[in-house]
Structure 1
Amino acid sequence: MDYYSLKKIFALTTSVLLTSLNLNSEDLKDIYELALLNDPTFKAAEASLRAGKEYKVQGRAGLMPSLSVSGSTTWSEYRLEENLLDEYNSNNHSASLQQPLFRLDRWFQFKQGKSLSKSAEAEFAYQQQETMIRVATSYFNVLYAKDSLSAAKAEVDAIGRQRDQAKKRFEVGLASITEVQDTQAAYDLSIVSKISREAQLDSAKEALTAIIGMETPLLSPLSEDYSTPPPSPIERESWVKRGLANNYQLKAALLSTDAAKHNARASGSGHLPKIDIIGRVTKSTSKQGKFGGFIQNPLFGLESDNRQYAIQVSMPIFAGGAVSSSRRQAYAQYDRSKEQALIAERSVIREIRSNHFNVQTQSANVKARKQALTSANSALEATKIGYEVGTRNVVDLLQAERGLYAAQRDYAKSRYDYIISLLRLNLSVGSLSPEDLYKVSSQMD
């Protein structure tokens, strides 16, 4: 199959995929898998991981033998007053092998490379988890914006009906002009709110598009039956203990500190002797030409072979203070790295406690918002009856309607905030995995 046939098949497949995304709703699992394929931030993290793995290879290379070869060819002529007296061609070929025997600085550089590679792996693991958070946050931002827009549209329709009813009541003398003006003002404000919600939805979709690399498809809503229990275990310090052992940002910081320690020790080894085994083979050939009218060695020339084997010991005595300065600098960087690791540890503890508290708060908040929604609905029905019998005025009715739609938005937001808080708690203790997203995705309509 040629390239153009493959290109047509790929274009057709892509078209079918995009069509299916437009026709069918996509859940959180689908969006996450799209992000893994198209998110540039995640792709950059993958590239950083590949680069970080090379530190170990480069550190190991300093302990391995090094082999080099070189060669040269030279043409020479000797002339006296434009007369050629002699000419010859010489070739030189050499190979050199060097194996470190005692290089303490390179040993510590090897250990530094291992620590840096492990730190890159820990940082990538964190970036994987952070990608899940970004995807989930953008996903639920879109859902919340859609819920808010739906509530805003319903509010416009409801207040529009109240305005029309007030006008009819005014025409038959059952309502004052103030009632008409109040409903008109409320209607105008609801239109403004609807426009704002439309812009919010468009912005949320653009944020998700930037992650998945394509137009935001129709998203599956969260099931009404989704449960929001408090964190388990409820004891906060047990979560802190898990986080100190498993948080990937903290692991990366500790491994970077370990790398800085090895770098300091490598710099501290600068005054120590360095011992290498060296082997070198050199072969030279010289083909001489005319000299005094005679041809000498025209075919084979002169050949020489030279083999050298040595144990080389070198030890720096004085380098203008550069070695001592490098050692002091490396140990200062090590001290800085230790303090940065302490900052990371305290930050992790603070984040775990904060996220644990947020999950507890959001769990209770969802229940409270659900009850508030029920109460707002009951209050609206009671206000409608009161308005019909004359015990409540139109302002009361408008406030009750706005209260209902605000309660709908608040309830929807509380459920999404709970999920993000729970995911962030798992992130802070290093246990967040795609299974957590898939579990949420399984409870979508």
Structure 2
Amino acid sequence: MLRRLSLALAVASASSGAAWAAEAPLSTKTDLVSVYQEAVNNNADLAAARADYQARKEIVPQARAGLLPNISGGANMSDSETKVRTNMGDPTLSRSGILYQATLSQPVFRADRWFQLKAAEATNEQAILELSATEQNLILQSAEAYFAVLRAQDNLASTKAEEAAFKRQLDQANERFDVGLSDKTDVLEAQASFDTARANRILAQRSVDDAFQALITLTNRDYNSVEGIKHTLPVLAPTPNDAKAWVDTAAQQNLNLQASNFAVDAAEETLRQRKAGHAPTVDAVAQYQRGDNDNLGYVNTGTPGTPRYNGDVEQRSIGLQLNIPIFSGGLTSSQVRESYQRLNQIEQQREGLRRQVVENTRNLHRAVNTDVETVQARKQSIISNQSALEATEIGYQVGTRNIVDVLDAQRQLYSSVRNYNNARYDYILDNLRLKQAAGTLSPADLETLARFLKPDYNPDKDFLPPDLAKSAEQNLSAKPDY
């Protein structure tokens, strides 16, 4: 006996639910916040980004070191012979000994090093913001991976229900053919639809496995079950529902855009550093030396090279050292020209990023508003396709419709179910993407979503809204009118 598809939805859900229960309930289901926390603790990309930041922030003390005192010490041991030609002959003088020395150098005026420090500080701020952007992006990645699993599971559930419905249609076609109520063509059409549905179910199962694998890759933890999202999740327009307000927020708070501002600052300071290569430098230098007079080179005024004293000698000196760059082969001028172009490059990149942020923010704002309407429309389309299928099946019974019409109506119904669930997940993710573009995305957004998770979520039963599932159950218990 031919059934209505609203009935088939409930029956298929019940039958496939048993199969799911045999496959999945291996452990407690994981929730969205737990997945995010595991990603924070174990994600390789985030760990690499943190290490990159720790390395990049060292440029600040490295640049500051150029403005701080530099102290060096050393020792020199030598043994030399000097032949001196005089009117009295050519005596050979031997000199040997150890010389100890310490030198203190303090930059007094080093404009290039000062600008280098300012550039390093700007680069450090850029690195902080880029790390924050990576951390923020992990929030979105966690949600995308999590809801990809739910999307795949719901798709698999509807595909199972569709396969079960086509199997019943095939059984009914065979029964009608056996009693002479239909021809072989109906059986072949039903068989083709069932075979296609079976192939789709196999592919849908692989998609579920792939989605779980992506979650494992993100967190380095194994999962076999996650909590589903309730159909009671509010589907509301963004607040405020004003694209300009979101764009203004993004211009001020988008992390990548803020990082690009510091990149420009760093390039400007680097340009100043290169220009300062033309400026003189002044250093204060203090030196202390101690050794025998051979090494210090004290000589007799009468005969050069003849030691004046025996024993150790100490020498102290302090003074200012001025260096005026005159010509360096064009190196400094070339570096200035290079820095001009680097600054221009980074400014253009910032402008390109700003335009992209504005575009993404506006597009995502529109997307969320579209998703709100789409979710409602897709839900209504399920009801409409149920009614259409019922009417088509009645027409098939009385001979005004053929089996192809029935099969097409079934496909349309299950397609509308998948479209509805896809619209729900698109709405959730587009909301998070809009907040990321505006720079306001935080773990609190995941905690808000987690309040609408259902710990006992069963995809094979819960892929339909509760009111539609209830309607299907009522139709199942109702006496058929044919």
Specify the TM-score bucket, using the shorter chain as the normaliser: 0.7 to 0.9
Match of 1:8 in 2: none
In the alignment, is residue 219 of structure 1 matched against residue 226 of structure 2? yes
**Residue type matched to 1:417 in 2?**
D
Match of 1:36 in 2: 40
Shift of 1:22: 5.1
Equivalent of 1:23 in 11, 27, 34: 27
* Contact 1:111/1:259 (8 A) holds in 2: yes
* Contact 2:149/2:212 (8 A) holds in 1: yes
Q: 1: CA distance between counterparts of 2:186 and 2:337?
A: 81
**Residue type matched to 2:49 in 1?**
A
* Contact 2:267/2:346 (8 A) holds in 1: yes
Equivalent of 2:270 in 260, 263, 267: 263
Residues 407-431 of structure 1: CA distance to partner in whole angstroms, max 9, x if unpaired? Answer: 1111111111111111111011111
Relative distance call for 1:87 and 1:23 in structure 2 (3 A) is: farther
Q: Secondary structure at the match of 1:191?
A: helix
Match of 1:402 in 2: 411
Shift of 1:377: 2.4
Residues 322-363 of structure 1: CA distance to partner in whole angstroms, max 9, x if unpaired? Answer: 111111111121111111111111111111111111111111
Q: Sequence identity, in percent?
A: 35
Match of 2:462 in 1: none
Equivalent of 1:51 in 30, 44, 55: 55
Structure 1: gaps (5+ residues): 1-20, 79-84, 289-300
Equivalent of 2:428 in 400, 404, 419: 419
* Contact 2:38/2:221 (8 A) holds in 1: no
**Residue type matched to 2:134 in 1?**
Q
Q: 1: CA distance between counterparts of 2:26 and 2:41?
A: 18
Equivalent of 1:61 in 60, 65, 74: 65
Q: 2: CA distance between counterparts of 1:377 and 1:158?
A: 13
Structure 2: gaps (5+ residues): 1-24, 83-91, 296-309, 455-482
In the alignment, is residue 278 of structure 1 matched against residue 281 of structure 2? no
In the alignment, is residue 140 of structure 1 matched against residue 144 of structure 2? no
Shift of 1:39: 1.2
**Residue type matched to 2:121 in 1?**
K
Residues 206-263 of structure 1: CA distance to partner in whole angstroms, max 9, x if unpaired? Answer: 2222111133331111111111101111111011111111111111111101100000
In the alignment, is residue 118 of structure 1 matched against residue 122 of structure 2? no
Match of 2:208 in 1: 201
Q: 2: CA distance between counterparts of 1:336 and 1:103?
A: 27
* Contact 2:247/2:438 (8 A) holds in 1: yes
Equivalent of 1:323 in 315, 325, 332: 332
**Residue type matched to 2:147 in 1?**
F
Give the TM-score normalised by structure 1: 0.87
Q: 2: CA distance between counterparts of 1:86 and 1:319?
A: 41
Equivalent of 1:98 in 89, 105, 118: 105
Residues 291-324 of structure 1: CA distance to partner in whole angstroms, max 9, x if unpaired? Answer: xxxxxxxxxx821211111111101101111111
Aligned residues: 407
Q: 1: CA distance between counterparts of 2:53 and 2:392?
A: 62
Q: 1: CA distance between counterparts of 2:74 and 2:374?
A: 75
Once the two structures are overlaid, the 10-residue window that deviates more, 125-134 or 53-62, is: 53-62
In the alignment, is residue 244 of structure 1 matched against residue 251 of structure 2? yes
Match of 1:12 in 2: none
* Contact 2:144/2:429 (8 A) holds in 1: yes
Match of 2:439 in 1: 430
Q: 2: CA distance between counterparts of 1:136 and 1:163?
A: 40
Relative distance call for 1:141 and 1:178 in structure 2 (3 A) is: same
Match of 2:316 in 1: 307
Q: 1: CA distance between counterparts of 2:293 and 2:97?
A: 4
Q: Secondary structure at the match of 2:57?
A: helix
Shift of 1:435: 0.6
Q: 1: CA distance between counterparts of 2:50 and 2:207?
A: 32
Q: 2: CA distance between counterparts of 1:141 and 1:95?
A: 66
* Contact 1:112/1:263 (8 A) holds in 2: yes
Q: 2: CA distance between counterparts of 1:379 and 1:72?
A: 100
Give the TM-score normalised by structure 2: 0.80
Q: Secondary structure at the match of 2:453?
A: coil
Match of 1:383 in 2: 392
